[in-house]
Structure 1
Amino acid sequence: MLHVEGLSRRFGNHRAVADASFVVERGSFVGVIGPSGAGKSTLLRMINRLVDPSEGRIRFAGEDVTALSGAELRRWRRRAAMIFQQFNLVGRLDVLTNVLMGRVATVPAWRSLAGLWPEDDKVIALAALEQFDIAGLAAQRAEHLSGGQQQRVAIARALVQEPELILADEPIASLDPRNTRVVMDALLRINKHYGITVMCNLHSLDLARTYCDRLIGMAAGRIVFDGAPEHLTDAIARDIYGLDSEQIADGVHAAPRPRLPAAALGEAAAA
């Protein structure tokens, strides 16, 4: 369980996040919504500790994340995997090696630097690629992939970290509608099949309502809404975005919430 308590971050005189407090239950899929500059990215980066809070505290399963440093902080970043809008792949390396980077914390440094990955780790990486129908691209250089394929590689890399929490910072912002759905389906499958908690920054209300079971709305650095998607009315959306709610959608219209095969859901329930 993730506890965020009075979290704030200032950059000079600008307060990017102001007094954010909430609790995220294990296994939930939380969408963080709001306009550009609302503080969504800063919030997720503070949880991962890529950005240090100016005030407040982050706790996960009773551990004070804000107090971690050194090896303990590296372990936390393995438990709380980040997925970025820009994919953050090494373009000149093949897809398999990019995914194996998610195993760096589990192998001696000399092995990863020399590219001498254990066979067990290669099997794990290939299995992750298979989950997202891109195992056939394992030998290709990452820079030759489409944006949607690169983001699926980034998600596979996060998955092989064996995280307890995935923090996705605008993972579909640069993708077309088809690849948007492919990537969001991949995140939903991780959430339902493996029971991994997902927090995902999104601009589109259509997508947020379709995929998330809870929404946190931010405006000017503050949390102004926290609840189920069905409780996010058009009036609240206008308050968050300062626009007509019809203007907020990014051209990707809501589809029925994806359903996973019964077998996959059964496995998740049994896990």
Structure 2
Amino acid sequence: MLVLEGVSRRFGAKSAVEGVELSIERGSFIGVIGRSGAGKSTLLRMINRLIDPTSGRIALDDVDVSALRGKELREWRARCAMIFQQFNLVGRLDVLTNVLMGRLNKVPTHRSLMRLWSDEDIAIALTALEQFDMGSFAAQRADQLSGGQQQRVAIARALVQEPEIILADEPIASLDPRNTKLVMDSLSRINRDYGITVFCNLHSLDLARAYCGRLIGMSQGRVVFDGGPFDLTEDVARQLYGLEAGDVIDMPEEMPAAVVAAQAATPPVLAAH
């Protein structure tokens, strides 16, 4: 279980995240929702330790993540893969090499620097690409791909790390509807088939309700909502988004069957802030 205990992050006088308390079961698909600037990205980056908490503790089972340094921290980042909005691929390198970068923690440094990948590593990378219908692009430069294709390559790179957790920070923000579905379906399949815990920052509440079994709503750095898709009512949306609520959610009359099946048992929490 991933546990956050009183996790906060300040930048000077500004509090980006304040007093977050969460317990996340393995294999969950978590949607983190809220306005821009609510603290969603900072929260994910603290879990990955790209940003250190100002106070509080992050732990996975018996590992105190917030205390890791050096090699142990690098190993944690391999166990907790990050997917970014802007893909973070090396454009001049081919797709296969970009995916193989996810294996850096599995091979000696001298081999990775010289790109002396083993047949096993190459097979793992190609298999990951095939899962996302990107195998035929293995030899193509990454900067020649569309945004949706680049994001699927980034997901394949995360998958070959063999992570326990995937943190996706607004992975569909710049994508069209077709590629949005492809990327969200890919994350859902990883969660379902491999049991990997997925945290996904999302702006669209419709997508959050359709794909996530549990939703965590943030406002001004605090968690103000914690519940399932059924619990995300129009009133909750208005509290999270104010006048923007109508732009991010279109409440359907009935929940899709897939969402019903994924509905988390955790009761909702809604707090004033």
TM-score (norm 2): 0.91
CA distance in 2, matches of 1:122, 1:36: 38
Preserved contact between residue 18 and residue 222 of structure 2 (Cα < 8 Å): yes
Instruction: Name the structure 2 match of 1:165.
Output: 165
Instruction: Name the structure 2 match of 1:56.
Output: 56
Identical-pair percentage? 69
Q: Where in structure 2 are there 5+ consecutive unaligned residues?
A: 260-273
Alpha-carbon RMSD:
1.5
Shift of 1:115: 1.3
Preserved contact between residue 211 and residue 257 of structure 1 (Cα < 8 Å): no
Shift of 1:51: 0.1
> CA 1:162–1:257 in 2, change beyond 3 Å: closer, same or farther?
farther
Shift of 1:256: 4.6
Give the letter aligned to residue 233 of structure 1: T
Preserved contact between residue 31 and residue 199 of structure 1 (Cα < 8 Å): yes
Instruction: Name the structure 1 match of 2:203.
Output: 203
Deviation readout 1:135-172 (Å, 9 max, x if unpaired): 00000000000000000000000000000000000000
What SS is found at the alignment partner of 1:85? coil
Shift of 1:65: 0.2
Preserved contact between residue 99 and residue 157 of structure 2 (Cα < 8 Å): yes
Instruction: Name the structure 2 match of 1:137.
Output: 137
> CA 1:38–1:146 in 2, change beyond 3 Å: closer, same or farther?
same
Instruction: Name the structure 2 match of 1:185.
Output: 185
TM-score (norm 1): 0.92
Instruction: Name the structure 1 match of 2:128.
Output: 128
Large movers: runs of 4+ above 3 Å? 254-259
Preserved contact between residue 9 and residue 15 of structure 2 (Cα < 8 Å): yes
CA distance in 1, matches of 2:68, 2:225: 29
**Alignment partner of 1:33 is 2:33:** yes
Instruction: Name the structure 1 match of 2:263.
Output: none
Preserved contact between residue 78 and residue 105 of structure 1 (Cα < 8 Å): yes
Instruction: Name the structure 2 match of 1:265.
Output: none
What SS is found at the alignment partner of 2:129? helix
What SS is found at the alignment partner of 1:242? helix
CA distance in 2, matches of 1:247, 1:176: 16
Preserved contact between residue 2 and residue 25 of structure 1 (Cα < 8 Å): yes
Q: Where in structure 1 are there 5+ consecutive unaligned residues?
A: 260-271
Shift of 1:20: 0.4
CA distance in 2, matches of 1:55, 1:160: 32
CA distance in 1, matches of 2:237, 2:55: 28
Instruction: Name the structure 2 match of 1:16.
Output: 16
Count of residue pairs brought into register by the alignment: 256
